[in-house]
Amino acid sequence: MVSWQEKSTYLFDLDGCIYLGSTLAPGAKLLLDTLWAAGKNVGFVSNNSCDTAEQVEERLRVMGLSVQPEHIVTATGYMGTFISERFGPSKVKAAGSSSLVSALQAAGHEVIPFHHKSVPDLIVIARDTEFNYEKLQITAADWGRGAKIVATNPDHFHPGENGMKVPETGALLAAIQSLLDDKILILGKPEPYLFQYGMDMFGAVSSETVFVGDNLQTDIRGGSGLGLTTVWISGNVDQLGKNAITDVKPDYHCTNMQDFLKSIEAEIIPGRGR
């Protein structure tokens, strides 16, 4: 049985966990306020492949939640850092948002137009709402001429409002990967990199960190692989289908954020458990 009071750091996924589309998830604000009042480190680690931490901070502010951007890790914002650590300064083509391009440039990388004839060092694939057959063809051709491919995240979709599935980077990667012999390098969850960036924000280690997320295959698989205590929020979207079988087992299973708060409040709120 985990001691919630002994955990110093609570990291949360965003889409489908803290918010659903443009609305805060029920109970999310009260849960976070409770953790902050108890002196816990609270951070956010997201496979968001369009927005930087500053953009997420603004979105949360509009929803009524005040969060420091320094405590938000997104695949978009950290892709430039990841490339620098793995490859050094690079010439890059990017299929994704203008925020992704800006983040890559801010990290010191040269971003060239996707349709440019020269071959880049790297092609970065993110959620690109304008991705088409021509970009698919260019990606395959540049890879064949030596470019490496890096992706922000493997998610096939993220949950929107009313249970809607919003197509994500992984849906594009499925087409790209079918043309390649090499496995695409991925930054986002379930790979360890974003989790580690999140813990590093607070100087935390895995044994004192809780990760709360709604996706078994990214949030829970990745967190468990690093030894974090994992909490699966299952009620916001059908991730697997009613009859799906998975080997991923969370440490704790809660229907929603209100359910999770009920699970921990007696221990972390002084006097509540007496």
Segment 196-217, tens digit of pLDDT: 999 999 999 999 999 999 999 9
Q: What is the DSSP string of 41-62?
A: EEEEEE--SS--HHHHHHHHHH
Q: Which domain holds residue 100?
A: 78-186
Segment 106-164, tens digit of pLDDT: 999 999 999 999 999 999 999 999 999 999 999 999 999 999 999 999 999 877 677 78
Instruction: Judge contact between 273 and 267, C-beta under 8 A.
Output: yes
126 and 83 in a single domain? The answer is: yes
Question: What's the pTM?
Answer: 0.91
85 in a domain, yes or no? yes
The count of structural domains within the chain is: 2
206 and 161 in a single domain? The answer is: no
Segment 181-198, tens digit of pLDDT: 889 999 999 999 999 999
Q: What is the CATH number of the domain that holds 259?
A: 3.40.50.1000
Average pLDDT over residues 52-56: 96
pLDDT band, very low/low/confident/very high, at 238 (cuts 50, 70, 90):
low
106 and 12 in a single domain? The answer is: no
Of 139, 169, 186, the one marking the end of a domain is 186
Segment 15-45, tens digit of pLDDT: 889 998 889 999 999 999 999 999 999 999 9
Of 143, 162, 186, the one marking the end of a domain is 186
Q: Is the pLDDT of residue 242 over 60?
A: no
Segment 57-108, tens digit of pLDDT: 999 999 999 999 999 999 999 999 999 999 999 999 999 999 999 999 999 9
223 and 242 in a single domain? The answer is: yes
67 in a domain, yes or no? no
Of 134, 158, 186, the one marking the end of a domain is 186
94 in a domain, yes or no? yes
62 in a domain, yes or no? no
Which of residues 49 and 162 earns the better pLDDT score? 49
97 and 158 in a single domain? The answer is: yes
What is the signed CA dihedral for 230, 100, 85, 116, rounded to 10 degrees? 140
Q: Can you give the pLDDT at residue 274?
A: 34
66 in a domain, yes or no? no
Q: What is the DSSP string of the chain?
A: ---GGG--EEEE--BTTTEETTEEPTTHHHHHHHHHHTT-EEEEEE--SS--HHHHHHHHHHTT----GGGEEEHHHHHHHHHHHHH-S-EEEEES-HHHHHHHHHTTPEE--TT-SSPPSEEEE---TT--HHHHHHHHHHHHTT-EEEES---SEEE-GGGPEEE-HHHHHHHHHTT-SSPPEE-STTSSHHHHHHHHTTT--GGGEEEEES-IIIIIHHHHHTT-EEEEE-SSS-SS-TT---S---SEEESSHHHHHHHHHHHHSTTTT-
214 and 177 in a single domain? The answer is: no
42 and 131 in a single domain? The answer is: no
73 in a domain, yes or no? no
9 in a domain, yes or no? yes
Q: Can you give the pLDDT at residue 273?
A: 45
**Mean pLDDT rounded to a whole number for the chain:** 92
Average pLDDT over residues 259-270: 86
173 and 197 in a single domain? The answer is: no
